[in-house]
Structure 1
């Protein structure tokens, strides 16, 4: 069973919208709670003001009748006044005795239907005894009634009665409050829609760069030049793009090395086969030609000798070709030993008359295979000799310099024809040659040997002026490399 998996853009949009929705709901609930608290406080303050006004009127009325300032006279004294005060202040008024019994009320229905109790609760009486002057509490039967109790005193300071004012909170919301709530809700809706729209554009903006990177990745093809992704911002996506570009560069370098390795492997396999197929018939052919020369009787022996010498020369040329292929195909395992570079180059110079040495005074010792290094120098010097025009005196210089504490450079410089710009990329590939003779395997073999030394070989060349090969080698070959 497969489940629907939303895209990253959809997940970002849904998450932002949900967070905005939750924040608006919480803000609305907090605002509503705050509004209710303020409304409750408003009604309590309003009740206090009304209670204060009613109590002031009662105290003034009692002061004008000092002879009736006792509990038993309150019913007759306020029989008409209580209704007047109730109408003026639009509030029910109840008088209780100091003991908590109902004395007089302007609305007896409150007690008939048991909305209010006919006696003051014990809790209220105990608080009055403890000295509280005024307090407000909700009704025990319903939550929309506030009850305020206050003690009335005579002019001599004696408790006269307990004044009770029930305040019924209106169920309907005041018009000004309703308008405020409608405005607030409308503002919340507008802000929510704007926030959702912003979340949509923000999610598109965040994922736009990722979509661009994805599109670019789909266009990547190994074996060809892939343009790096350009990203101007130095942010997290920029770091991702940098890593991607770095990875692509490494992959391209690896692909180039892999292709080169595959070509060299194919050449080596072919070289083995060619060397085998060519060498097998060469020896019998040489013996047959020599035997023919000794036993065949002809009228022109000189011509036969020229013919046999030509055939033997061609057989020797084929043998040399096979030997070159064989050497390229089978590189012997390196034997590490200490090599005194100055003494080594002096021995190389003894085998080549046209070479001039350019050696520093200090002696340097490196680690490597002396036989393979000899093959490298012999091939480079031979190439330099064969690159000379017929009318030019050879000037081949061999020397070395110390690059740093870990590496040296051996160079072979000639004054030959040089290497054209169009051919320089293929110098170290098998089959490349600028000579009229040879198989073009020497420099490919040289590069393989230098790579085995953990070194590198490069060259600089000027057409019709000469070429210099630079062989950079480590002084010691580490086993971990």
Structure 2
């Protein structure tokens, strides 16, 4: 299963990497087209189409005739709602109104209409139609200027400038992302891209980690126009899109196919591993609910499985806790670093504001120029602050009301209040700290926000500076994602190594245990037990030493037991021999005494009595001889002379020997063909079956017709012969002693026949047993292995 998981993950990782590469290539091509086509034909059409409506708009005319009836904010909101609420989400729209004398009507700009118009002409690159201009500069980005002279009844009332700045390529903040429609946003994967825009073969704009040359070296190497070309330069891959007018866009990405493949493999392996675990656990719970399984127990698990599971479990927990600990530490350090960076940025902006204020006052003293107020001064320079420090900035007055912002659209659209954050404002009012850095949010977007009061060189309060550091959590998430990606790679590597090493290590450990277990199996009572030779000085050495001590004690105990059993057996044998000899001696003694009295009394029947006593003595002497022979046979069983033979021949010979007995019907039956040979002593087996058939004959009660059936069958490389009789059977209390020496169910005999029979069968590698039912008969079974 483990190997299958690896194969599955490798295959899926290859497919994932391939499709991801294709998708990434398409994303870079799409981004290149979007970058080179910053001039938006739809936007230009909409602006041109709405010109007659704006020129004839009565609301705009009334505002220029009497600008004090409504505020500039109401004027701007009305224009956005009427003309720019649809189709312009990718632009930040601003309005600048000037009266006939060139002074700003909104009272928020220190420059006059002529200066603003000159700025448009200087920054614009293309005059599209009439008074619509397109611009693309490093400072202001790209967008459109639209100019409207306001004339009512032939009277010139002023000028209205409409400025549309693209939010698409603004890389210095995140504010514009909140205003973009989803279709206009840069794809998430494009965050890792670098790009450059060349105009007339000279670098106009660039972003990302890659350092682009000032002059277009890549674009000059290709001839294809309006068709993206893929160029690889070491570990960097470029998508170059060149237009006929000399403009070129290059989108670049650093390639690391091995890392991408291994990351995909790691995630897929972990997902597949957890899926298999979940399915297995679900199936196990299902079986447990049905009663077909029980809870896992280490006491019942194998040592090898415990080692393998422990390996994987320990590695998984170690990496998990290490990841949580380092992740928390990493997050804490990143927050500290981000706050320090934000604090440093606020100090830099503070210095810039002081410098501007100082220069403005100095300029005023020399030239007689006096700024209307702080708001207009900050509004003039706020774009410079933003571009210089790569941060969005907001300024609030001493009451916490917004003075100006580098992203006014956020406040105009109501995404953020024009009032300063209440927590920061109250702290600033009460404690007057040098700065405050806290967490804030716009919608679901969380970010760090820093506040700092700004004073001039004389200690007079100017404004509250606010810098929203949006990139904090995005960068944190990127770095944490990279960290956990690396951690997952380490985890998967460790799991794979554990998966391959754990069985090897467990085999090394269990191999030692198997060696010890094999020695344990060889231990016999009374046999020669070999001690285990163990050179290692590990924990198992203690077990081995105790085992060696145990077998020494076992051998000693076995020898003592054997001596005790031999002595006990000889005592029992002596008692049995004495008893068996004493039985015939008693009638012999009585017969001789009776004959002696007859001779002493001159009994006329003395000769007849002498003949009778002689017959009795001969019978008893024969009985003593038989007893001696049986005891000799049991105590001194001859060594078997084994040979290959057909068992049926021995069985038939024994059956034919007793088949002529009167009052008994002996039959033989075979099940199937029995041609296999066995390896045993033929004479001893003949003695076995003679004894079994004779016992069956003797078990039949007097006056009852005897039925003895001998059956032979072949079963799984073994030949089984059964001898069944319809005799009196064996009672339950006697069954356990049938094969015990000296035990007999007959009125005469030594009880050694079945004991000798059992000994012969076991020496031939077989076994013997019986089944009996009292008053219904007995069946003896003999099983012998087939010779191979």
* 1:147 equivalent in structure 2: 449
* 2:531 equivalent in structure 1: 228
Looking at secondary structure, tell me which structure has more strand per residue.
2
Distance apart, 1:246 and its partner CA:
2.5
C-alpha distance 245-149 of structure 1, shift in aligned 2 (>3 A): same
Contact 1:71–1:160 (CA under 8 A) maintained in structure 2: no
Residue of structure 1 aligned with 2:506, choices 203, 206, 215:
203
* 1:80 equivalent in structure 2: 380
Distance apart, 1:16 and its partner CA:
1.8
Residue of structure 1 aligned with 2:395, choices 67, 71, 95:
95
270-279 vs 57-66, which moves further: 270-279
In angstroms, what is the RMSD of aligned CA positions?
3.7
Distance apart, 1:225 and its partner CA:
0.5
* 1:168 equivalent in structure 2: 470
Counterpart-to-counterpart distance in 1, 2:530 and 2:371: 104
Contact 2:315–2:494 (CA under 8 A) maintained in structure 1: no
113-122 vs 79-88, which moves further: 113-122
Distance apart, 1:178 and its partner CA:
7.2
**Are residues 1:251 and 2:551 paired?**
no
Distance apart, 1:65 and its partner CA:
2.9
TM-score by length of 1: 0.53
36-45 vs 60-69, which moves further: 60-69
* 2:417 equivalent in structure 1: 117
Contact 2:397–2:463 (CA under 8 A) maintained in structure 1: yes
TM-score by length of 2: 0.34
Counterpart-to-counterpart distance in 2, 1:32 and 1:164: 29
User: C-alpha offsets along residues 135-158 of structure 1, whole Å, 9 cap, x if unaligned?
Assistant: 111114455322110001133212
* 1:13 equivalent in structure 2: 308
User: C-alpha offsets along residues 95-123 of structure 1, whole Å, 9 cap, x if unaligned?
Assistant: 11112111122211221344432112343
247-256 vs 68-77, which moves further: 68-77
C-alpha distance 265-180 of structure 1, shift in aligned 2 (>3 A): closer
Counterpart-to-counterpart distance in 1, 2:343 and 2:503: 52
C-alpha distance 235-292 of structure 1, shift in aligned 2 (>3 A): farther
Q: Matched residue of 2:373: which SS?
A: helix
**Are residues 1:47 and 2:342 paired?**
yes
Counterpart-to-counterpart distance in 2, 1:159 and 1:86: 22
Counterpart-to-counterpart distance in 2, 1:125 and 1:200: 65
Residue of structure 1 aligned with 2:331, choices 9, 18, 36:
36
* 1:266 equivalent in structure 2: 569
Counterpart-to-counterpart distance in 2, 1:21 and 1:232: 35
Counterpart-to-counterpart distance in 2, 1:96 and 1:72: 17
How many residue pairs are counted as aligned between the two chains? 296
Counterpart-to-counterpart distance in 2, 1:253 and 1:293: 63
C-alpha distance 176-247 of structure 1, shift in aligned 2 (>3 A): closer
Residue of structure 1 aligned with 2:434, choices 128, 133, 150:
133
Residue of structure 1 aligned with 2:352, choices 57, 62, 65:
57
For residues 340-379 of structure 1, the aligned pairs below 5 Å read: none
Distance apart, 1:188 and its partner CA:
4.3
Counterpart-to-counterpart distance in 1, 2:524 and 2:496: 45
Q: Matched residue of 1:46: which SS?
A: helix
Contact 1:24–1:192 (CA under 8 A) maintained in structure 2: no
**Residue segments in structure 1 that go unaligned for 5+ positions in a row:** 297-481
